[in-house]
Structure 1
Amino acid sequence: METVSDWTSFGGDLSVHDHESETLGCTMRFAVFEPPQTDEEPVPVLWYLSGLTCNWSNVMEKGGLQRKAAELGVMIVAPDTSPRGQDVADDEAYDFGQGAGFYLTATQDPWAKHYKMDQYIMEELPSVIRSNFAADMRRQSIFGHSMGGHGALVLALRNPGHFRSVSAFSPIVAPTQVPWGEKAFSTYLGDDKEAWKEWDACELVKKTQLDTTILIDQGEDDQFLEEQLKPGLFEQACREAGQPLAIRLRPGYDHSYYFISTFMDDHIMHHAKALYG
């Protein structure tokens, strides 16, 4: 692991690192915010998954998370959104290829060689964190935005009991039913739509419910609300499955980090309660 950047923030430490990923077959970059409490003991870990076109920098630079994470003693890890590099398959579109890994394991060539973001986040990167930071890996939670909100919901539902809590900003909740997901899934996973359901939160919650309340914040003025996000579908699926859900529609807010930073403290407090409860 190579440290790329390092800053002091709210008494803690924000650092950026590169490492060679065996899972993805490329160099990956991630960021970690360590609260000041790590000087005394390991602290719980909160994973943040970013959206389309993003990387570690979006939430660390614009999310406003450091103050509350430092206060509550929560380490936050921000992985990249896809494998990267000249040898990694890509596409010119913003919503597919590098920057748009959708937190799944691709089965179709040429994507299958590198696109295994779920394995990377669930297995390889936690091992790196465990070996290099004062992280209590017995206590983990997860949240994300848009495509990353999809990733947080799906990884939590596919791995019940692994995360103590899960939340999302503006998540893609039904990728099998919206253009972003249909485009990505048909190319990463092929034409078998039954296989798509294994990466769709609305489908997964029918089979698996979590023993924690899922928190979602959604801006009512989000430009992607009606075509791509459709939170009502997840609300209905959770209601029918008996999954506790707190979904909050926020008037006047859009899809941006102005929205995310406004309610970031709420989400960190939600997770800290579960991590320290």
Structure 2
Amino acid sequence: MSEHHPSLRADCGSCFGLCCVALAFTASADFAVDKAVGTPCRNLREDFGCGIHTGLRQQGFTGCTVYDCFGAGQQVSQVTFLGRDWRSDPDTAEQMFAVFPVMRQLHELLWYLTEALALDVTGPIHAELAEALAETERLGAGRPQELADLDVAAHRQVVNVLLLRTSELVRAQAPRQKKDRRGADLIGARLRGADLRGVNLRGAYLIGADLRGADLRLADLIGADLRDADLRGADLTGCLFLTQMQLNAARGDAATRVPPALTRPAHW
């Protein structure tokens, strides 16, 4: 079981509704309306809470129930900007909205690195993983302008080398070598009951795939698109780099075996 610090879990009560303002969304199956970057969602209340929180899916805002900031919202709100919110201090708004997506990426990397460090099999690269985690934390503690100017894509590339090595070490434990499905188009694929242990599914398109009863232990799921994938009865314990956002986007049931670090979505 990977141990993730509470700072990597969203605390909406300590955030200034940043995902509801800083991000854009387009009218689609996930969002009922268009919204531009820096424009508050029409459902955002004055206290930064959501006016339709209990009915988001019913009112066409499924995307909001899927999104996860990995705790970046409260970090930017309470630490980077020291509790100054964009409404009472509008001079902070533009910079705050620019910093938020950068912080979100850093916190996602912290999530992956924390998971990798908790695995016994990654012992040979623990020192490198710990160094990468410390550097990512250092970058996340930067001043607003430092964060806004950060080349986060370059840092992701450095960290990704270690995440790839982690993936190799984990997947080597699988009983048999499996076909590499990295980035594969598996949209709507019929994978019911499939033995996917140790399969590399990094960035794979599994939208609407039938994964009922599939065994995904030791599979690398980083960046895999699980929107509307059917995970009823699937075993996800021991899979690698699965996030709450991916789980929220999929469909499952009480028989779906979920990694202990994640929460079974309420809509399942």
TM-score (structure 1 length as normaliser): 0.27
Q: Larger strand proportion, structure 1 or 2?
A: 1
Structure possessing the higher radius of gyration over alpha carbons: 2
TM-score (structure 2 length as normaliser): 0.28
